[in-house]
Amino acid sequence: MTETQSRPGQARRFGSRLRILAIGRNPRTTLIRASVLAVVCVVVFKLVLLPVRVEGISMTPTYSDHSFHFVNRLPYLWHEPRRGDVVGIRLTPPDGWAAPHVMYFKRIIGLPGEAISFAGGRVLVNGRILDEPYEKGPCDWIAEPVTLGLDEYFVVGDNRSMPKEQHTFGKAERSRIVGKALL
């Protein structure tokens, strides 16, 4: 008799706990919290911290093919891009604050006004060899000096073992730099 009475009680308690777990003690508060969380997620991941998946080998070994990262748009609100930063570069001209779906993922090696060239596989900035600890593989690239404009940066991938002709690199306008790689 006791057993038959306790079973519905247990079921009620279980149902109540399940309800609390799913929608909280106060469904209205839970709904507001969920809405706020959803809005925050949309704002953060659509406008500020852009999720990117690397396609291709031009940034290996630093970033491997198919790896997942974020591009943070906030750093360049406070300061200009710096040498050595890995950045996302949009392919289409800027369209307000809208985030692009496709970006190049490259490293900045040249700053506005500098002359960049490749000789014997090394990068020369204004004729001086640039120290690049991230550059691991052998490189035989040769390229004439390119002088950057006042709003231009020179970007290139870390994988210089691949043929220069198959590697996308060069001058990027400041307005096309979306943000800095995070992680």
Q: Is 41 in the site for another protein (CB under 8 A)?
A: no
Q: Which of 15, 36, 101, 140 binds another protein (CB under 8 A)?
A: 101
Q: Write 68-72 long-range contacts (CB < 8 A, 24+).
A: 69/105, 69/181, 69/182, 69/183, 70/181, 70/182, 70/183, 71/103, 71/178, 71/179, 71/180, 71/181, 71/182, 72/48, 72/179, 72/180, 72/181, 72/182
C-beta of 73 vs 90, nearer to another protein: 90
Q: Which of 7, 31, 39, 55 binds another protein (CB under 8 A)?
A: 55
Q: Is 142 in the site for another protein (CB under 8 A)?
A: no
C-beta of 29 vs 65, nearer to another protein: 65
Q: Is 93 in the site for another protein (CB under 8 A)?
A: yes
Q: Which of 75, 100, 121, 145 binds another protein (CB under 8 A)?
A: 100
Distances from the Cα of 136 to the Cα of 63, 81, 83, 101, angstroms: 13, 23, 18, 30
Residue 98 CB, nearest approach to another protein (Å): 9
Residue 12 CB, nearest approach to another protein (Å): 37
**Both tokens assigned to 67:** 């790896």
Q: Is 92 in the site for another protein (CB under 8 A)?
A: yes
Report the helix count and the strand count for the chain, using DSSP H and E: 3, 11
Hey, which residues between 164 and 183 contact another protein (CB under 8 A)?
165-166, 168-172, 176
Q: How far apart are CA 134 and CA 58, in angstroms?
A: 13
- Contacting positions for another protein (CB under 8 A): 55-57, 89-93, 95, 100-102, 104, 106, 155, 163, 165-166, 168-172, 176
